[in-house]
A and B are shown apart, each in its own frame.
Chain A
Amino acid sequence: MIEVRNISKSFGDLQVLSDVSLDVNEGEKLAIIGRSGSGKSVLMKHIVGLLKPDSGHVYVDDQDLCCVPYERLRELRKRFGVLFQGGALFDSLSSFENIAFPLRYFSSLSESEIEARVQECLDLVNLSDVGAKNPSELSGGMRKRVALARAISMEPAYILYDEPTSGLDPETSNTINDLINHLASELKVTSVIITHDMHSVLEVADRVAFLYRQDLEWVGPVAEIHDCANPNLNSFVRASEYKIGDSSTATSLSEPSP
Chain B
Amino acid sequence: MREPRDGYVARPLVVPAPRRLSHTAARSAVLDSLLAPFRALGQYAILIGRAFASVNEIRMYWKNLFIQMVRIGIDSVPIVALAAAFSGAVLTVQTAYQLETPFIPKTIIGSIVAPSIMLELGVVVAGFILAGRVGARIAAELGTMRVSEQIDALEVMGLNSVGFLILPRVLAGIVMFPVLYVVSCVVGIGTGIFTGHIGGFLSVSEFLEGARQFFQLLDPFIGFIKSVAFGFIVTSIACYKGYYTGGGAVGVGDSTTQAAVLSCVFILVADLLVAMLLL
State which of A84-92, A167-175, A202-210 sits at the interface with chain B: A84-92
Among B60, B148, B158, find the residue whose CB has the most chain A CB atoms closer than 10 A. Answer: B158
In the complex, A88 Cα to B146 Cα: how many Å?
Answer: 10
CB proximity to A under 8 Å, residues B40-63: 60
Which one of B131-139, B149-157, B176-184 is at the interface?
B149-157
Q: Is B159 positioned at the interface, with any CB of A under 8 Å from its CB? A: yes
Asked whether A50 is an interface residue with its Cβ less than 8 Å from the other chain, the reply is yes
- Contact between B158 and A82 (Cβ–Cβ < 8 Å)? no
B159:A88 contact, CB within 8 angstroms: no
Dominant secondary structure of chain B at its interface with chain A = helix
**Are B160's CB and A74's CB within 8 A?**
yes
How near does chain A come to B27, taking the closest CB pair, in angstroms?
16
- Are the C-beta atoms of A77 and B157 separated by less than 8 Å? yes
Residues of A within 8 A of B156 (CB): 48, 50, 77, 80, 82
Shortest C-beta distance, B253 to chain A (Å), equals 18
Interface residue count on the A side (C-beta < 8 Å): 22
Q: Which residues of B contact A85 (CB under 8 A)?
A: 149
- Cβ distance A195 to chain B, nearest Cβ, rounded Å: 17
Instruction: Give, as a whole number of angstroms, the nearest-CB distance from A173 to chain B.
Output: 20
- Is B153 a contact partner of A88 (Cβ separation < 8 A)? yes
A101-B149 in contact (CB<8A): no
The closest CB in chain B to the CB of A82 belongs to B156
Are B148 and A88 in touch, CB under 8 angstroms?
Answer: yes
- Which of chain A's residues 47-104 have a Cβ closer than 8 Å to chain B? 48, 50, 70, 74-75, 77-78, 80, 82, 84-86, 88-91, 101-102
Known: A77-B156, A82-B153, A102-B157. 8 other contacts (CB 8 A): A50-B152, A70-B160, A77-B157, A88-B148, A90-B150, A90-B153, A101-B157, A106-B157
Closest 6 A-B residue pairs measured CB to CB? A88-B153, A88-B149, A78-B158, A84-B149, A74-B158, A102-B157
